[in-house]
Amino acid sequence: MHTLQSYLCGSWQSGQGDPQPLENAVNGETVAQVTSRGLDLAAAVRHAREVGGPALRAMTFEERGKALKSLSAAIHEIREELIDLAAQNGGCTRGDAKFDIDGATGTLAAYAHYAKGLGDKPYLLDGEGSQLGRTARFWGQHVRVPRRGVAVHINAFNFPAWGMMEKAACSLLAGVPVIEKPATSTALVAWRIAQVVVESGVLPEGAFQFLCGSAGDLLDHLGAQDCVAFTGSARTGEIIRGNANLVKHNVRVNIEADSINAAVLAPDVDESSETYGLFLTNVSTDMTQKSGQKCTAVRRIFVPREQADQVAQDLAAELGRISVGDPTERENRMGPVAHSGQLEDVRSGMAQLSEVAKAVTGGLDPHPKGGCFVTPTLFQAQDGSAQVLHDLEVFGPVATLIPYDGSAQEAAALVCRGGGGLVTSVYSNDGDWTAEYVLEVSPWHGRVWIGSDRMAEQALPPGMVLPGLIHGGPGRAGGGEELGAERGLEFYMQRVALQGFKGFLQTHFG
């Protein structure tokens, strides 16, 4: 059994008192333990600001990018070990573990690539300069500079590798040191990656710290130059956003929270089209990959009313082909949900959905293999009137099929009742219908994925988060934004408008 430590102020440290156990979701055995009680988090914040920050800012963007590339390679070297740990603590199949780990190394490599075009100056230009006075002698130029604080990253349980490294890549490349705080329940993978980061020696001391266990009073030590990025439940996001110290000092906060993501099948799509096959495959994948524990997973499936029964039958058949069982056995495509607390939440949510919809496949009966296993479950509602369908995120292999009248306006109106999402997908070969739908839903989403026959053979699924595009969404989804290539650095930098003699600005900030 592993006893997890935190890496703070240049050393690995253990907390005090009774540790919290981390469980194997297949059999309930304790695989690791951790506590952060008694650790000096104020000292960790000072260490980041006073040691890590200056050292990072002394590096060029290209040098930071090379460090990210080295980290990507170092983590990839222990890929097989991480896959085994993800099965032990998280219930991940080999495919699900690779999805998480390769997402981490791929994002690090992507940001190493983006660094090559950022130059060797300690700032980034933001747009073109402009004449401010009667002549061009009085000039204005926006630039972005690294903030002089620390980035605290509070990560979710479902992607202990990818979630941590996508935040770290942006912050470190921007020149801001990080304190990474993984979700305790699945911290084993994150802890092992943290060991590799430290052992690699490619980052200056203080640039990377790792807090394993409770966040304690960490947020109470942050100030105006610091920032917090959180991924997790909307309720926890509200608590973080409302932290008195963060509010007092106007600390930047980025939240990625709940998202009742939707897939929409347009009325022009028939069963013979490539788009229909793509729809079935993607919905099934998004419902079952990571056992449905993805912030981008499909929770609501909207189909024209006259097609609802046929689509329900076809989706049930797709889900029925998913083998569920011990994630260490390669024939299984879905493992358990991550831990017993998550199982309770999923079953509670399924019970609520069963009051307004019927189970087409799966359902509330305990899985015959016990543990934290859940049968992939598709509910079918008679209509979209019950608000619980649009409010309740069951964070597991569960979704509800909801009929609509076939118009783009009604489909969009129903989707937007979710209050803001990370991604919505739409499947159609009708350009006018699709354009109308896209314009209606875009204000409520961070990303709109558009499927058609023309791109079916080359498309990545909508649940895939790509480093070159933004990840986040308005409203219920948290109102935050991550990644998006160079855009991902903006949260960690200060945009400042410089006004002065054009010659000076172009010489020193051009």
Q: Cα–Cα distance between 161 and 189 in angstroms, integer?
A: 7
Contact 186, 156 (CB under 8 A): no
Alpha carbon 26 to chain centroid, angstroms: 25
Q: Which of 170, 212, 227, 295 is catalytic?
A: 295
**Residue 57 main-chain phi, psi, to 5 deg:** -70, -20
372 is catalytic: no
295 is catalytic: yes
Checking DSSP bridges between strand 445-451 and strand 208-210, what pairing results, if any? Answer: unpaired
Q: Cα–Cα distance between 396 and 345 in angstroms, integer?
A: 9
> If you write DSSP's letter for every residue of 365-430 in order, what string do you get?
SPPTT-TT----EEEE-S-S--THHHH----SSEEEEEEE-S-HHHHHHHHHTTSSEEEEEEE-S-
Tokens found for residue 195: 């060991």
Q: Spell out a b/e string for 370-383, using b for 16 or more CB atoms within 10 Å of the CB, else e.
A: ebbbbbbbbbbbee
- Cβ neighbours, 10 Å, residue 271: 11
Q: Please enumerate in sequence order all residues whose Cβ is within 8 A of that of 455, keeping only pairs 6 or more positions apart, or say none.
A: none
Q: Please enumerate in sequence order all residues whose Cβ is within 8 A of that of 244, keeping only pairs 6 or more positions apart, or say none.
A: none
Q: Which of 256, 318, 393, 481 is catalytic?
A: 256
Checking DSSP bridges between strand 377-380 and strand 262-265, what pairing results, if any? Answer: unpaired
Catalogue the active-site residues: 256, 295
